[in-house]
Structure 1
């Protein structure tokens, strides 16, 4: 991919390609990036993890070779990528692409990530691993009920909103208090940081017909399994990571680990993961319909027709964006 502007370059706009899982976002983004000198910036909260190449449906090496890809597979599964952390990194990648005359193409369906980029986020400081490990140790030693009670002493507002079994959010609230000596609710009440995205944005939303989307979800998961997703899940499970880490909660991980360990049949694991994926896709569709003001909404029944329709609009947007 050349670094000098080509057809479609010009202006300072950003293209957001948003849609539910299995809607065809990645393939469309690559085609647009090839044609309009783009850089693809990941906005999928699971595709940031290198351990989840298959399970997160990250673009293949061959696909990624067709256009520059950023923020894909750059984190270890033991890390937590908050929406604020991602938004800062995405903002840097968008600015770097803009300086090189390229079209930044943000692609994903993670609502928190998109909102952090376009609307801002609470100014909660980054918390280092030592505070997280201390909070995790407290939970393990005290047990869920006593840990919840201890959090309530420091942050009654957050504790009142969380169940004792919500270990990930309880640990998050405690680690923030341990690191800053201020409750998480105090930080959340502050005015949000300004959005990282300060450039004009063209929002392209893919909303396939539901039955078509569900069929794609099912078929894609079966393909993942054929390509080795069980081995990928087992390698992750063998690390003994905290089950509440985001990577460990990726769709299909729990089911495939259980199948790999002989606890359930693979057929049942696949069926359960497919059901969970369809439910997630449905939630994404609902969020996109109600939370995103789109510049162009389309299904993806005919991708070639979509590209013929949308490419001129993106070119026009780029030439007029400033």
Structure 2
């Protein structure tokens, strides 16, 4: 059923700049400062900002910031595609420019660990297996498939929430395609692209109340700039609800308003709450997963 492939990276990228942190913590502004100081190229490390279709709700850099420095891998993925970490890493290799300082900035922890620790090798998934499990997820729901996974791969199931349909489906696909747990494949790592020892690695750790206030102000600005119309446009495409883009914070809440489930004020309040909860999960992840090589700094 396939063995892990050989390392494909021939060398490590030295002296990279890594800027991680929760949403709305000021990562982009810090990246711009480094770009100007070091003639750097800013490379997106946020799994939602890779997609076209939701510039406002995913808080992609605006035109002013894009024109102020060289930005790569923002808004280049079609919403109907489930863009993987492996694809992102391959795209990174294509945009790292010789003689220019690479500045990775974002809030997706897995992107950073794939850069600095190597990406787990995964088996190819036949289209019929992928279609089978995604069809069952739509018909039966995530909780039902989590029960299936608990029977077949209890160790993996114990690590996943029973509402995390995307990861549950992925675990079942890998298990059926390879007859091995996804945990086995996650332990098979390739050589990392970035040399963490020589990197400037920064993780922003904001004070919670200050971050909550910034999140609220930013979402209000999103609404002023047209986030509702943006959400309505994407939802009108009737995309597969399991696609990653459909998990963009604010999309579900604004969609519920458009469906008449509650008022616009309630939708905005719920979206702000969801954003705060997401930021809390990000901060917990960074605290638990990033080691002493990472410099902890307050929010700017």
Count of aligned pairs: 286
* 2:113 alignment counterpart: 115
In 2, distance between residues paired with 1:165 and 1:261?
22
Specify the alignment match of 1:250 in structure 2: 248
Rounded to whole Å, the distance in 2 between the matches of 1:288 and 1:164 is 23
Q: Tell me which of 202, 209, 216 is aligned to 1:204.
A: 202
Is contact 2:141-2:165 (8 Å) kept? no
**Residues 1:263 and 1:32: Cα distance change in structure 2 (over 3 Å):** same
Q: CA deviation at 1:83?
A: 2.8
Per-residue CA deviations over 1:47-71 (Å, capped at 9, x if unaligned) read 0111221001000122112211111
Q: Which residue of 2 aligns with 1:124?
A: 122
Residue pair 2:201, 2:295 contacting (<8 A) in 1 also: yes
Q: Distance in 1 between matches of 2:227 and 2:175?
A: 38
Please give the TM-score of this superposition, normalised by the length of structure 1.
0.78
Q: Which runs of 5+ in 1 are unaligned?
A: 1-10, 302-322
Structure showing greater Rg? 1
Moved more, 41-50 or 239-248: 239-248
Deviations along 1:103-125, whole A, 9 cap, x unmatched? 10000121111112111232113
Tell me which moved more, 106-115 or 287-296: 287-296
Q: Pairwise CA RMSD of aligned residues? A: 2.8
Structure 2 counterparts to residues 73-112 of structure 1, below 5 A: 73-93=75-95, 96-97=96-97, 99=98, 101-112=99-110
Q: Is the 8 A contact 2:40 2:70 kept in 1?
A: yes
Q: Distance in 2 between the 1:223 and 1:47 partners?
A: 18
Residue of structure 2 aligned with 1:46, choices 45, 48, 51: 48
Structure 2 length-normalised TM? 0.83
Secondary structure in structure 2 of the residue aligned to 1:52: coil
Contact 1:155 1:185 in 2 (8 A): no
Give distance in 2, aligned partners of 1:244 and 1:145: 13
Give the match for residue 167 of structure 1. 165
Contact 2:249 2:275 in 1 (8 A): yes
Task: Decide whether the 8 Å contact of 1:43 with 1:108 is kept in 2.
Answer: yes
**Structure 2: which 5+ residue stretches go unaligned?**
1-12
